[in-house]
Amino acid sequence: ENRVKWSNAELSAKSDAELDDLFDAIHYDEACAHMGTGDIILLHGTEMFSMTIKAATRSWYSHVSVVVKDPPEAILELYGLHDNRDANGLYVFESDSETEDGREGGGVQLLPLRNWVIEMK
């Protein structure tokens, strides 16, 4: 395996710009310019439930979401997003145990991408 290992101290000493360069990071607005319907977003969660999912599935990832760009008005209405639009027209379709509308047991939801990213931090 050719992955470079970095200690926490080494990473902590680097500036944000150095870390962005090191990990080939792009910023949110740049990423949005390249996103379209059907793109997949994989998450590596660190909470207990995420760790359980990763252990059970033997995967690095604990959550997957699908990008939907410029969904039809009827879909936005169906998911209650008529007053909560994403400026880039990007939304995330996902299933979660805790939904924004508080449905018992969770379920499938469509969320504005920017809101979803902020919530995932």
Residues written for the chain: 121
State how far the alpha carbon of 8 is from the alpha carbons of 12, 14, 60, 112, in Å: 6, 10, 20, 33
User: Structure tokens of 31?
Assistant: 């990423």
| 38-78 per-position pLDDT tens digit | 999 988 888 898 899 889 999 988 889 999 999 999 999 99
pTM for this entry? 0.73
User: Structure tokens of 107?
Assistant: 């379920």
Q: Percent of the chain at pLDDT above 70?
A: 89
User: Structure tokens of 118?
Assistant: 């902020």
